[in-house]
Amino acid sequence: MSTFDKLSAPSLSNAATQALLSKILSGELNIGDWLPAERDLAEQMGISRSTLHQAVLDLESKGFLTVIPRRGIRVRDYRKNPTTLSLDTLMRYGSIELERNLFYDMMDTRLMLESECARRACTHIYETTATEMQELIDRMTPDNPHMSEDMYLFHYKLTQASGNSVYSMIFRGFETVLLNLIHLHYDQLPQDIVPAAAKHQLLLDAILAKDEESAVAHVRDIISQGICVVEAPYKS
């Protein structure tokens, strides 16, 4: 049975929501698991039952919990039965601790999205966007304290270069999660920064040469390398 720490924050209801969500998205609480009774759960977390109940109702509206009268609170299958708020909640999730299947689903989505963006960029990129992407590559150095942010922005610019504004919106929505994963990669392996910059240069060169096949191959190579690093906890 999962246990919960006492909470202390300006907004206890929001803190309770995030604590419960973290247990679910990290896989500590599995789909179908029952939570402790509200009275016991509130006591574990050091909050009032009304505060906990508000957090539970919030997560129910977002598709992560189900309240069953006279039975209790159960983790909902948010992947098969999401609400309109489920994806938005996932996009704003700030932790790198993701349940295994959810992690790979997100990586598959990124591969699919950026592969299409790289292909479309070959015919839709503006000169100003190409210049901005080149400037970001030039800043991908081990001594740049904002290197991870610049790398994220390069990929965001790639989605803009596709000419499809919805692709950019989707990618931007995952900013928090992707930034955390990029930080994780290069904090662990700073020696990967220089080779990564070279790979990004090859990608931009392929786009400017209008070589769709090479552009897709390079972006998939970049993302796959990152996946190999950050997926380590799922293979242990």
Residues 117, 184 share a domain: yes
Residues 230, 133 share a domain: yes
Tokens representing 91?
């996009």
Q: Tell me: the pLDDT tens digits for 53-68?
A: 999 999 999 999 999 9
Residues 104, 70 share a domain: no
- Specify the CATH number for the domain of residue 26: 1.10.10.10
Ranges of H-type helices in 92-192: 100-124, 127-138, 147-161, 165-173, 175-188
Residues 162, 115 share a domain: yes
Q: What is the pTM of this model?
A: 0.76
Q: Tell me: the pLDDT tens digits for 152-181?
A: 999 999 999 999 999 999 898 888 888 888
Residues 182, 112 share a domain: yes
- In the chain, how many domains are there? 2
Determine, yes or no, domain membership for 4: no
Q: 74: domain range?
A: 12-80
- Given a cut of 60, is residue 148 above it in pLDDT? yes
Determine, yes or no, domain membership for 2: no
Tokens representing 165?
């504004």
Residues 213, 124 share a domain: yes
What are the residues whose beta carbons fall under 8 Å from the beta carbon of 100, sequence distance 6 or more? 27, 234
3-class SS of residue 73: strand
205-216 exposure pattern, b = at least 16 Cβ within 10 A, e = fewer: ebbbeeebebbb
pLDDT score at 209 = 98
Residues 160, 45 share a domain: no
Give the residue with greater pLDDT, 8 vs 58: 58
Taking phi over 0 as left and psi of -120 to 50 as alpha, with beta for the rest, 75 belongs to beta
